[in-house]
Every structure is written in C-alpha cells, then in structure tokens.
Structure 1
Amino acid sequence: MTRADHPARLAGQASREAASAKRKEEWLALFAEDACVEDPVGPSGFDPEGKGHRGIEAISRFYDMTIGNTESLEFLIDDSLVCGNENVNIGTVRSTVAGAQIDAEGVFIYRVNDAGKITSLRAFWEVDRAMKTLRQV
C-alpha cells in the first residue's frame, strides 16, 4: 500500500467528491453504521450540544442541514497526511449559499475501520473566522 492508496485517504477523497457533487446516498454509503460526524468540532449551530452526529440517520440530517443547502461546495486541500487508520487534511472548504460564498479554513480528519468505512469525520474550523470571509458572488 502506498500513501496515495491508503484507505483513510481514499475514503476522505471519496467523501469530498460525493459532497461536492451533491450525491447524498453515495456520501452516506461511505460511513460505518455507528460513525460520528463533528463539523465543526464542539457546539455550533449545526450541533448545539457539541456531541456530533452519530449514526447514519443523524449524519443524513447533518447533510440536509449543511451540504444539501449549498449551491456549490469546493474542497481546497493544501496538505494531506496519513497515520494509522486516519487521514488529516489541511485546507479550505469553500461553500456557496444563496449567492454568498464563505471559506472555512481548517483541519479535517477522517478515521476508517478495517473495511475502509468512515467511523469518524472531525472538522476543526472556526465559525467566526469563516464568517469574516463572507462575500457575494
């Protein structure tokens, strides 16, 4: 196995591709049944208690609140590292919603199980910092 075909890296790439193309069912199929999505990590408007979205049903609702509401979603990855069963990406997620664009710079971590399914997706980005990039397009 090379770093390019590492299971966690492949899962992260597939997740970003499906999300960008707005292929919800394909995106959901990448996750293990008991997976957890924390985006962003901690309490937020998407997750007031900061416990994450656990299980496919909760992840599906997260998709509807976030990815499903975008006009476009672009992942600009500056660096990608793999360690153990995880892939860490450093970069920016650019979202366009209602004619406005926002950039969320951060660190995005995918963990996979032995079957290559995503068990954890954790996104570290600051809402206030991202809001400062808000602009009309």
Structure 2
Amino acid sequence: MADEVPSYLDLDRENHPAVLAGRRSRDAVQARDKQAWLANFAADAVVEDPVGPSMFDEEGVGHRGVEGLSAFWDKTIGTTEKLDFVFDKEIICGNEVAYVGKIVTHIAGHISEANGVFTYKADSNGDLVALRAFWEVGETVSSLRPA
C-alpha cells in the first residue's frame, strides 16, 4: 500500500528488541542480579566494555560466551557498589540501539564517570548478542573522586 509507513520511519521506541534487551541489562546491573544479567545474553554474545584494550581486557577482543561474560561481571560490575546510567540520547538503527551519555560508577567510597556511547544489539529472539561501550579509560580514571 502506498500509505504504509516503512518500519524504519515509524519506530516503536518502547518495544524495540534492542531497547528492551538494554533495559533488562541495566535493570539487572542495578538489582545486582548477575544471573538475570547473564540470562539476557545469547549464548555466543560478546561484551566490549570498553571497546579495545583496557585493564578489563588487555588484548581488546571482548568477553565472549557465558564464561567470559561471567568473568567480566566478576571483574567489573561485581566490584562496584552501584552503577548509574545517565543517557541523554537514544539512537535506534536496525536491531541495535546506541545511547549517548555516561555511566557513573560508585566503588570503594569513590565515584567515576565514563562519558561515551553505549550500544546494545539484539538477535531475533530479543537476546543481547553484543554490548559495546565506547569510553576513554584515561578520562574515566581521571574523573575519580571521593563520593
């Protein structure tokens, strides 16, 4: 029909699979629920947080599969007191969503801020297949201050 609007021009922002998967991921992090966070991922998913080499991933290849994601949680999320997700902009493309903003980390009585772009990619089942975070390690470390 000539009057039909293509799906890419009429996004269902609230029910988009990547938006929902990203929300589940953040909710599990805030609830400190490792099992719910892991269950949100496809079996062969990858987490790159941050993208490239870092203190969490010396080779910069990402964390893959259930064992890799579990180890990532233990090294990162599990060591924090709380994480706040402060996103200013949401950009949906295909089966992915990108957020521009920051993640505020509360750890050992201190706070740091990772300013960046955070992406979530969902598969056809609505499971996360990729979580990628673009933030600069040096800038984030230099933001560390007492809470």
- TM-score bin (small chain): over 0.9
Indicate yes or no: 2:43 matched with 1:33: yes
Partner of 1:3: 13
Which of 81, 86, 96 is the aligned partner of 1:76?
86
Correspondence list, 1:57-136, <5 A: 57-136=67-146
Unaligned runs of 5+ in 2: 1-10
Give 3-state SS (helix, strand or coil) of 2:74's partner. Answer: helix
- Determine the C-alpha separation between the residues in 2 that align with 1:121 and 1:131: 21
Indicate yes or no: 2:56 matched with 1:13: no
Aligned-pair CA distance for 1:21: 1.5
- Determine the C-alpha separation between the residues in 1 that align with 2:96 and 2:70: 22
Indicate yes or no: 2:64 matched with 1:54: yes
- Determine the C-alpha separation between the residues in 2 that align with 1:127 and 1:20: 22
Code of the residue aligned with 1:134 in structure 2: it is L
Give 3-state SS (helix, strand or coil) of 1:89's partner. Answer: strand
Structure 1 runs (4+) deviating above 6 angstroms are none
Q: Which structure is larger by alpha-carbon Rg, 1 or 2?
A: 2
Percent identity among equivalent residues? Answer: 50
CA RMSD of aligned residues (A): 0.9
Partner of 1:43: 53
Code of the residue aligned with 1:123 in structure 2: it is A
Tell me the alpha carbon deviations over residues 35-88 of structure 1, each in whole angstroms, 9 at most, x when there is no partner.
000000001110000000010110000000000000111100111111100010
